[in-house]
Structure 1
Amino acid sequence: MSAVEDVVTEAPAVEAVPKRAMTLGTGTSVVVLLLLLVVPVFAKNFVIFQLTQLLYLGLAVLALNILTGGSGQFSLGQSAFYGIGAYITAVMMEQFNIPYFLCLPVAGVLCFGVGFLFGQPALRLSGVYLALATFALATAMPQLLKLNFLEKWTGGVQGLVVTKPDAPFGLKMSQDMWLYYFTLVVVLAIYIFSVNLLRSRSGRAFMAIRDNEIAASAMGVNVALYKTLAFGVSAGITGVAGGLSAIAVQFVAPDSFTITLAIQLFLGMVVGGVGWLPGSIIGAAFIIFVPNIAEGISKGLSGAVFGVLLFLVIYLVPHGARQVAILGQQFASRLRKN
């Protein structure tokens, strides 16, 4: 029997991902959704803006989670796709007067194409070498956005101001509140799509490649296709998140999409739990609010305080928020039995 036949015979079939492995329970999901719907009604505009920021950054972390947690590919270049999506949305809105809700699908499709194409040469790389390649992409992107021949559209170094949309149909709500609910609908739609993707045949192929690329290839999985597809899907979702950020912040500039942003997204994925999609929001909350907490503790040493807090989180819960959720579920089960 050949070596390939041995692999085919001994390698277990890839099981469908259990529902709890990637989503919250039905009751918890309903409670979280109700909170997301109700809280903005009683909040100030600045708090609503922060919640909107939480949603679109959580979406970007989710996109990275699909790539790394789903297919096992490490990327430090998500800020590049985020910036591309933001600029596509901003340029279409301000230079071509295209409605914002039409700009986001275009940003997603174009970023999918860029990610898919970038995934082609990246097929030869894995692990730290792939991370370095994507790091190079993130480092180069701000400089590419400053090129002279793009300046008439992008605004060059000075960036581009984006007009925040008003609520449609004469709805009596502020711009921030309308944009929050619009972002919530987009994020929920993509979240449902992502869950179904990871449960599908393609998602099982992603995870087979993540667990053992050689065994996946021996079982008939087209490794090259699915690895590039994972890159494309992740880039597309990240592009939509970037477009939402451009609308919410009302401004895009090359220096807003540096490697620092890519590291923040990677950090959010780790804190939220690699491979656990609901943890993306928790990871986004960490990268938004914990630096502010650190600055409140010590303005002069905010970076050091943030580092200590991050170290404590990684040391105490190395698997991120997913580990906390599992421990909470086990504790609740014990209470029910007693």
Structure 2
Amino acid sequence: MSDMGIRNSGMASNPASPTSDRVAAGASGTRPRRIGASWIAAAVLLVAACWAPFELAPFHTFQLSLAMVYAVALLGLNLLVGHTGQISLGHGAFFAVGAYTAAVMMDRWDTPYPLTLPVAAVVAFVLGIGLGIPALRLRGLYLALVTLAIAIFLVPLLKRFESVTGGSMGLTLDKPRPPAWSGLAEDQWLYFLALAVTVVSYLLVAGLLRSRVGRALHAVRDNEIAAEVTGVRPAFYKTLAFAWGAMFAGAAGCVYIWVIGYVSPDSFTLTLSITLLAGLVVGGLGGQWGPLLGGLFVMYVPSFAQDVNQAAPGVIFGLLIIAVMYLAPNGLAGLVGRAAHWLGFRVRKGRTHAH
């Protein structure tokens, strides 16, 4: 599909149409200001993230590292669910593929840990294509059931090949050690590795979504038939979305191994896939901040539920999800956006009264 075909699909010819108004607003500077505010917020958040490991206790630094790992995995799931409109209950399986790829390379072949990241991402990408092509004929609940089956049979499969995966006992690995020149403790070094992968992943996804490919993904999500009429190939882009989602999950699984230093099949049960999907929905589908907020949710809320009630943490976890969905139907990102809009309105109103 041509670039103009995607941009112009659905655009009314009436110059006074809402679409024209949005274009005019962008030309007058509204969109650049919004993008500028977003970049400022990202820069402030990055500075705070760089400062955090020097002020936090090692365990809290470890928790934030894991939250960023989950955020990278949710970036991939957001591409598939939030931006392409597909449903996946097997994202944890690709997370496990990346983790075991890195673990086997480090344990069996003594591969330097930086080299495991691209390999884990590529292996998950290829597997995503292999599983995405057969799933093209499926959608909705049928696709969800297929991806659910992937997550279910993965754990016994990993346990079966004990000579490679370590079976039920898993594999224990040496964590990446900080170089002498860095002057960092181990937890701080691992934190910055996770932060670097998170930042690069966010930049890659942002560039992808602003490209012609991103517009094609959104066209498939909004109306698959209309997208095909205008020249978009839904099968091609849905397969790519599946593969890209798997790739980011595989990269996240690799960094997970760096941070944890241990891998076992029981770490990647069906619960992980469901928790990741719940975290994305709670964080905010289709938004740029949704995966990050979802990663924080996946990391901290189960621990909070365990502290509240050790006998039934799942009940507390479920009730918290229901409460968040009731208070913020568009996710935490939508809630934060509305709060920021309200605060900006109050500030502008105060300036108006002052003058």
TM-score by structure 2 length?
0.87
Supply the distance in 2 between the matched residues of 1:301 and 1:235 (Cα, whole angstroms): 32
Find the counterpart in structure 2 of residue 3 from structure 1.
Answer: none
Residue pair 1:209, 1:223 contacting (<8 A) in 2 also: yes
Find the counterpart in structure 1 of residue 130 from structure 2.
Answer: 117
Find the counterpart in structure 1 of residue 268 from structure 2.
Answer: 257
User: Aligned residues, how many?
Assistant: 329
Residue pair 1:22, 1:275 contacting (<8 A) in 2 also: no
Q: Secondary structure at the match of 2:66?
A: helix
Find the counterpart in structure 2 of residue 184 from structure 1.
Answer: 195
Residue pair 2:324, 2:332 contacting (<8 A) in 1 also: no
Report percent identity of matched pairs. 40
Residue pair 1:21, 1:276 contacting (<8 A) in 2 also: no
**Residue 53 (structure 1) aligned to one of 29, 53, 66:** 66
What is the CA distance between 1:79 and its match in structure 2? Answer: 0.9
Find the counterpart in structure 2 of residue 127 from structure 1.
Answer: 140
Residue pair 1:65, 1:277 contacting (<8 A) in 2 also: no
**Residue 237 (structure 1) aligned to one of 227, 248, 264:** 248
Q: 1:280-302 CA distances to partner (integer Å, 9 max, x unpaired)?
A: 12112112212222333333343
**Residue 53 (structure 2) aligned to one of 25, 29, 40:** 40
Q: Which moved more, 1:191-200 or 1:284-293?
A: 284-293
**Pairs within 5 Å for 1:1-338:** 11-12=9-10, 25-147=38-160, 150-338=161-349
Q: 1:81-118 CA distances to partner (integer Å, 9 max, x unpaired)?
A: 00010000001111111111110100001110100111
Supply the distance in 2 between the matched residues of 1:162 and 1:23 (Cα, whole angstroms): 43
Q: 1:30-72 CA distances to partner (integer Å, 9 max, x unpaired)?
A: 2111110001011121111101101001111111011101111
Supply the distance in 2 between the matched residues of 1:58 and 1:196 (Cα, whole angstroms): 17
Residue pair 1:58, 1:284 contacting (<8 A) in 2 also: yes
CA 1:301–1:120: 2 relative to 1, 3 Å: closer
**Could you tell me which amino acid in structure 2 is paired with residue 152 of structure 1?**
S
What is the CA distance between 1:224 and its match in structure 2? Answer: 1.1
Q: Secondary structure at the match of 2:159?
A: coil
Residue pair 1:111, 1:232 contacting (<8 A) in 2 also: yes
Q: Secondary structure at the match of 2:83?
A: helix
TM-score by structure 1 length?
0.92
CA 1:139–1:62: 2 relative to 1, 3 Å: same
What is the CA distance between 1:127 and its match in structure 2? Answer: 0.7
Q: Secondary structure at the match of 1:73?
A: coil
CA 1:189–1:255: 2 relative to 1, 3 Å: same
Q: Which moved more, 1:19-28 or 1:304-313?
A: 19-28
**Could you tell me which amino acid in structure 2 is paired with residue 59 of structure 1?**
V
Q: Which moved more, 1:240-249 or 1:295-304?
A: 295-304
What is the CA distance between 1:169 and its match in structure 2? Answer: 4.4
Residue pair 1:271, 1:314 contacting (<8 A) in 2 also: yes
RMSD: 2.4
Supply the distance in 2 between the matched residues of 1:313 and 1:304 (Cα, whole angstroms): 14
**Could you tell me which amino acid in structure 2 is paired with residue 298 of structure 1?**
N
Supply the distance in 2 between the matched residues of 1:285 and 1:296 (Cα, whole angstroms): 17
Supply the distance in 2 between the matched residues of 1:19 and 1:315 (Cα, whole angstroms): 33
